[in-house]
Amino acid sequence: MRTRLLAIVVAVCLAIGLAQPLRAVSSKISRPAATRAPVAVALAPNPGEQVPSGQYPQQTLEDLRGEVLNLVDSVQEFAALAPPGLVDTTDLQQARGLILQMSSQDLNALRKGIDPSRLHAQLLQARAAVAEYSKAKSATTASAVPLHTETLPFPGANGLCTSANGTDVTRIPTGVIIAADVVYFIAETVYELAQDACNDVLVIGGEGGNLRLLCLITDAIWVVAHAVDEGIHFCGDDLTGAVVDANYARLDHIHNDLAGVQTTANTIDTHLTNVDTHLTNVNNQITAEFSALDTHLTNVDNHIANEFTALDTHIANEFTALDTHMVSLFAALAAQLTGSTNLLSADLKQVMKLELTPEGQRQIVPAILTCTVADNNCPNALTHCTGTGGACSWNNVGPLP
């Protein structure tokens, strides 16, 4: 596509170089009416504006000069959208200087087929479209967020003047391409009208040399406009090809990644199978160990139960023996306390008898000195009291031993 576009530009440039010599000897050259008719009609003046004398007012001619300059500026603006360095706009700057030198005769010949106000309206819409697109593109470029850097490079889709990086597509909008077509067809119409004027003068034997400047200017504008329009269309085609190539490369990239993943998955699957076998063996071993441990714990539990049963029996026997022994001890203690009480009682009674007996007559009952607690044979020394009712009183304790 680039080769074809460059060939077109070179061919057109060569044609310009040969156009002037050929114009002197050739008959009238015309392009198919279907190509230029719509734009030519859109730019043509109303029939009522025709000047009977054929000479338009100077102000109207100057308005047309301004719109031709406007056409040059429009082509210049659209040239910024073409592939960088592909279109040389130096001729436009030279054409601008020549437009300022155009004579009233040049402008008048062109004015017969062009209404400046209609030309202005067409160019105004086209320039508005490219201005809006350029503004939006600048804003997008300023706010663009860089893509994440991948471990492996992912194929991009970058054309010569447009790109599609995976997050946005900087394709030239259809409206802007249509506006570029309009500018090109306007330039072509102006070129054709100038050619018609030059050839008409040449054929009828007029002063064709006087219109040479008009033909040179319109030739230069048309050639550059043609190259710019082709370049803008090339940008869209180039991006489409780049996207197709990038998508094919990305598909291959993804395919390779998936192949790597599949290989890794197979390796992981084999590894997991080995792990599963190992875990099964471990589980079987753990089950066997737990079974043996359960049996051992059951034996321990039975042994502990038997030990507790034997201990319970032993403790019961010990408590029974201890209870019997304590009963025996308590019985002995009770007998001892009884004997001790009787002995104490006998001793106290002997003391009372001595206290109730006058001094010099006091005598201890001999049995008190030999009685024991075990035999419980201590006598009651007061049993022989001779008082009233058998009560003991002073000097009335009965017979002394």
Predicted confidence at residue 149, as pLDDT, reads 43
Q: What 8-state DSSP symbol labels residue 135?
A: H
What is the rounded distance in angstroms from the CA atom of residue 28 to the CA atom of residue 25?
10
Q: Are 2 and 241 in contact (CB under 8 A)?
A: no
Predicted confidence at residue 270, as pLDDT, reads 86
What is the rounded distance in angstroms from the CA atom of residue 151 to the CA atom of residue 95?
53
What is the rounded distance in angstroms from the CA atom of residue 106 to the CA atom of residue 211?
6
Predicted confidence at residue 110, as pLDDT, reads 92
Between the CA of residue 340 and those of 40, 350, 370, 376, what are the distances in Å? 158, 15, 14, 8
Predicted confidence at residue 203, as pLDDT, reads 47
Within 10 A of 224 (CB to CB), how many other CB atoms are there? Answer: 27
What is the rounded distance in angstroms from the CA atom of residue 393 to the CA atom of residue 398?
10
Can you tell me whether residue 163 is helix, strand or coil? strand
Q: Are 157 and 163 in contact (CB under 8 A)?
A: yes
Predicted confidence at residue 154, as pLDDT, reads 61
pLDDT tens per residue across all 401 residues of the chain: 444 433 333 333 333 333 333 232 222 333 334 445 666 788 888 877 777 778 899 999 999 999 999 999 999 999 998 888 878 888 899 999 999 999 999 999 999 989 999 999 999 999 999 999 988 888 766 554 444 444 456 666 777 777 776 666 778 899 999 999 999 999 999 999 988 888 876 544 444 446 788 999 999 999 999 999 999 999 888 888 888 877 777 787 787 778 877 787 788 888 888 888 888 898 898 888 888 888 888 898 898 889 888 888 888 898 899 989 999 898 888 777 877 787 888 888 889 888 888 888 888 888 888 888 777 788 887 887 877 777 888 888 878 87
Whether the model clears a pTM of 0.75, i.e. scores above it, the answer is no
